Structure 1
Amino acid sequence: MINLIKVISYFSIFKYPLTADEIFYFSNKKEKDKVLEELNVLKEKGVIQESEGFYSETNNDELIARRKKGNEEANLIMPKAWEISKLISKFPYISSVCISGSLSKGYFEDKSDIDFFIITNKNRLWIARTLLILYKKIFLLNSKKYFCVNYFMSSGHLEIEEQNRFTATEIVTLIPTYGKDMFHDFVRNNQWVYDYYPNFKIDSENTKNISKNFFSNSIEKVLNKKLGNKLERFFMKITIKKWNNKFNHLSKEDFEIAFKSSENVSKHHPSNFQKKVLNLLNEKYENIEKKYYIKLEPENV
């Protein structure tokens, strides 16, 4: 039961009630019948509520209506996300593109962005990132609504260092759109996610191969030499310097999480959402223990 409480509590932070099938998928149970039994026990104890087949901390029909509308909006916007994924995949040094964020979980609303998780070639992350950011600034007038590229990894090191419930959830909900083989390599390098979600199964049946155009191939040909190495170091250096100056109000610890930057990773999360979510989750655990005398081990922040 403890595991099911953690699953429901996590998604309640996002005001997102879950179905029994979804709870089973995100649980550590091997049998769905066992999940249903435990959900019924939790309902009887008043720990969770159920309405219209959706489970949450509180019985709130508005949350269910909100979820249904968000699911519908996600279905409508998904073709556009795939179209943008294809565009991103055409850029130099892009090895894999995944839809992430709320859309990858089947939810979208007016204030949502289309988020992307991108894997680049080894030693060319910062060149690839800079080209995409320049495209966004010049052609999209710096709008991130449909082009939020805030997390890059390099094929040189594909293991996520922050191994917690937040990052595990983000990984198992990724929708790989382009670059199937590289995405599979990424999952193989992050087997720890199965400790949180043992029922996770890679769904890459619709993932397409990456096909570069003449423009992208030409740029790669030019920058595969010493010039590319110099530009890579230069773009990394000036970007990190800019972030340090702009977000100097953050503590060193928070900055290193929100703006993790190296030759193999680039994060741009000014709100440090990961830390906020996990802190809120641990607060929920404390409240559950006080109210229902159920001990829940805190999450690693």
Structure 2
Amino acid sequence: MTTLVTMMDAPRHNAQPQDEPLVMGPASTAMILTMAYFSLFNHPLREDELLRYCHFFAISPAAFRDTLGALLDQGILVKSGALFHLRGDDALPAIRGEREARAATWRVRVARSASVLARLPFLRGLFLSGSLSKGTQDERGDIDFLLVTAGNRLWTTRFFASLLLKSIPESGRRNFCMNYFLPEDRLGIPDRTLFSATEVACLKPLWNTPGSAAFFKQNSWFRAFYPNLEPAAPPEAPHRPPFLQRLLEWPLSGRLGDRFEAWATQWFIHRLSHQLATLPPDRSPEDFRIGPWEYKGHTKGFHGRLRKAWHERLNSLEAAFGVQLIRWPWGRTPRPGQAPAEGFARLPVPLRIRRHQL
């Protein structure tokens, strides 16, 4: 196995004993880690995607092409058509093709669901998340949404969303997977992990798209994990709330609305606390969180399992390829003064992951 050709990605020593692993530089490590993460979702990447989504390390297009060529020459990466994947993942391009074709058939469903949700009272923003935000869909997939509500009306919106779900046959509820609610004056997501950063980076604004810029500014910390990625600029479409939404908001905008919000908050938190008690004790704290200013309802323990699978995948790749990878952390804890800001006036300082010099 030869050393990589770029100076920025040179190994630590000019020569190493044959029984020692090859120490990979930051650019090649970042690209391998990126491919490893997306392989957990059976999702190979195109060349432009690999550059945009390259984890942890800012890399120029020229250095990216040199490093990509070296990884291909070494047999660590393989190109299948327009897609790149790690050696041994030969089945992934066909899986992605199948999922992309299925996602295309879901576009009408997404548009219909977004149109229905746009009528919820005090809804101020709607994002598509999950696999569909990345252009793919599983056979048993659903439509995941992140909802932004008016300040001090999160649980009022959640209440009407529950009524909506009750009115829909169970077979159609997978079109309305509303598992994250945030108010517009507290948009900061506290879970600064690779998984959360990926979901933030891939969110697709569906409604009130001009207001989505505030969300991405409030969560600019994700660029510590995705330094080469800028969110796509949403179209500056004029926003006018639907008539039904304005009608429902009118009686709940004053003191009566404050009382209703206080009741809904207390009722939901009490009810969901019982659900929280039934979750596995080893669940990740990033999976399920409830409070006056946030609802996160990932009840399947996916976050913790994914973190474990990612570390296991890196261990297996090091053994299979005979390399040593830089282990950038899965998550970062904000330093004092870097906690997510409340409101639009104070924005969190993006976390900076130190670049390793080899």
Residue 111 (structure 2) pairs with residue 85 (structure 1): no
Distance 1:132 1:82 in 2: 17
TM-score by length of 1: 0.91
TM-score by length of 2: 0.77
CA contact (8 A) 2:36 2:86 kept: yes
Q: CA deviation at 1:141?
A: 3.5
Partner of 1:179: 208
Structure 1 SS opposite 2:65: helix
List aligned pairs for 1:1-301, cutoff 5 A: 1-27=28-54, 28-141=57-170, 143-206=172-235, 208-250=237-279, 254=283, 256-291=285-320, 292-297=322-327, 298-300=329-331
CA contact (8 A) 1:178 1:208 kept: no
Question: Which deviates further from its counterpart, 201-210 or 254-263?
Answer: 201-210
Structure 2 SS opposite 1:95: strand
Identity of aligned residues (%): 24
Kindly provide the amino acid, as one letter, of the partner of residue 103 in structure 2: A
CA contact (8 A) 1:96 1:182 kept: yes
Where does structure 2 lack aligned partners over 5 or more consecutive residues?
1-27, 333-358
Distance 2:260 2:33 in 1: 45
CA contact (8 A) 1:51 1:59 kept: no
Deviation >6 Å, runs of 4+? none
Q: Deviations over 1:54-92 (max 9, x none)?
A: 222244443211111211221221232123212211211
Count of residues in Structure 1 that have an aligned counterpart in Structure 2: 301
Change (3 A) 1:213 1:300: closer
Q: CA-atom RMSD, angstroms?
A: 2.2
Q: Which has the larger radius of gyration?
A: 2
Distance 1:279 1:208 in 2: 41
Distance 2:261 2:310 in 1: 38
**Higher RCO, Cα 8 Å, sep 6+:** 2
Structure 2 SS opposite 1:287: helix
Distance 2:223 2:287 in 1: 24
CA contact (8 A) 1:98 1:116 kept: yes
Distance 1:187 1:246 in 2: 31
Q: Deviations over 1:186-236 (max 9, x none)?
A: 111111111111232232444644433333213212111222222223222
